[in-house]
Chain A
Amino acid sequence: MDQTLHQIRIAGLAAAVPRHEEPIADSQYGTPEIRARFSAMTGVHARRLCLPDQFCSDLATAAANRLLDELSWNRAEVENLIFITQSPDLNYPATACLIQHRLNLPTSCAAFDINLGCSGYPYGLFIAAKMTAQRPGSKTLLLIGDSAGKPNLASELNTVSPLFGDAASATALEWHPDAPPMRIQLHTDGSGWDNIMSRRAGGRPGLDASNFQFANEDGQIKIQSQSQMKGEDVFNFTASTVPPAIHTMLAAMNWPKESVDAFVLHQASRTVNEMLRKRLGLTPAQTPGSLEKFGNTSSATIPLTLVTQWRDALRNSRQRLILCGFGVGLSWGTAACEWDRMVCPDLIEL
């Protein structure tokens, strides 16, 4: 999929994380030696985790509320609410419906969830831009994020690698006659569907003893199917697909590498990101990151990195950006955009 979207302006961007921080060195994972090796290899030194009663939808709602307030948007004019997540509150209804209510958005607002992970942000920009009508006043909210790090069971604390952190974000899109075009290229290779997956009871493949956990904590029955990842194959997928995807986009836009202010890529781990940066011939300054303090934050990585590392530039100037998300699916997408002076509140801590 390769399309150019016209007259859609990114009016604002906000991100939210839980206040609760877990330094990896102080976590219960493995041994001190394993934790030190883990941080050296992955680049993750701390992460934010939702408390037991805190959910990704809370983070997304907080980001959206702050953004709507700072934009002074009339909530009655929000026509679309899209929530991209793999951490819904419930199997159904779609969490976007709960958020529509919590945000006091009108019943004329379309609201639905999309099940995508690390590739989600370029997908979300495309869908949100497509749904924004080509007329004054048309407004869309794109919410995206996961609570991929939140432990579901106390017994997970010393066995599950502390790679993932929790975060969510809100992006505000509106029609604007002078907005620069935004080009988006999206890809899928479902042959790698089992490289990263989380099974469900009654699903295919079903649960077996190795990924079935049960515990009764605090009077609550909890059942967890652990997510599975083939790290080696994910590395190879990324190496094969991401550099060509970015080169293809640069060529399609006729943008020299040097003309791009920032390449904001999903950050799976330091090992993967250093490989990509070297293969793409980019400097650390051109590839801002949020991995060290927040971990791999799934689909929120790109907006979280923009808010925490690129906020002043986004607020005060026109920025030429290449955004690239890749992972579970397998799925990947690239966006080439020029965003001009948006509302961007400081990181929200909840």
Chain B
Amino acid sequence: MPAIDTAQFLDSITDAFDLRVSNLGLDSPFRQLKEWDSMVSVSIVAAAYADYDVQVSGDDLLSCNTLDDLKQLIESRLPPAP
């Protein structure tokens, strides 16, 4: 399975949180953070599409507990390299 760059991925998620969180790691339970809300949720979906060309649904996000879960979900859907 192709892998995405962890640092870039975490930067992108931090942006989706409008930089209100720091030190996000793959083990972060992102949906449990007090900064999590519906705007962050849609921003993550938009970022996954902009950065990786991958669509992540609302239900997909609910199935992920940590950012590692989300990263693996995105990786499983990466389009084939050109």
Contact = CB atoms under 8 A, between A and B. Distances in A.
B49 A41 contact: no
A233 B49 CA distance: 12
Nearest to B44: A232
Interface string B8-32: 0000000000100000000000000
A283 interface: no
B1 interface: no
B7 interface: no
Interface stretch (A48-56, A82-90, A234-242, A314-322): A234-242
Interface string A26-65: 0000000000011011000000000000000000000000
B18 A232 contact: no
Interface in B27-82: 38-39, 41-43, 45-46, 49-50, 55-58, 61
Nearest to B17: A37
Interface residues of A, number: 17
Interface in A211-265: 230-233, 235-236, 239-240
Nearest to A195: B58
Contacts of B49: 235-236, 239, 275
A271 interface: yes
B55 A41 contact: no
A275 B18 contact: no
A214 B58 CA distance: 29
Interface string A117-130: 00000000000000
A213 to B, nearest CB: 19
Interface string A170-195: 00000000000000000000000000
Nearest to A161: B38
B18 A231 contact: no
Contacts of B58: 230-233
Interface residues of B, number: 15
A40 B50 CA distance: 18
Nearest to B61: A232
A49 B71 CA distance: 41
A232 B39 contact: no
Contacts of A272: 46
Contacts of B41: 231-232
Contacts of A236: 45, 49, 55-57
Contacts of A240: 55
Contacts of B42: 41, 231-232, 235, 271
Contacts of A37: 18, 39
Given A38-B39, A231-B38, A275 B55 contact: no
A230 B42 CA distance: 9
Given A38-B39, A239-B55, A232 B50 contact: no
Contacts of A275: 46, 49-50
Nearest to A42: B39
Contacts of A41: 39, 42-43
25 contacts: A37-B39, A40-B18, A41-B39, A41-B43, A161-B38, A231-B38, A231-B41, A231-B42, A231-B45, A231-B58, A232-B41, A232-B42, A232-B45, A232-B56, A232-B61, A233-B58, A235-B42, A235-B45, A235-B49, A236-B45, A236-B56, A239-B49, A240-B55, A271-B42, A275-B46
Interface of B: 18, 38-39, 41-43, 45-46, 49-50, 55-58, 61
Given A231-B42, A232-B58, A235-B46, 12 more contacts: A37-B18, A41-B43, A231-B41, A232-B45, A232-B61, A235-B42, A235-B49, A236-B49, A236-B55, A239-B49, A239-B55, A240-B55
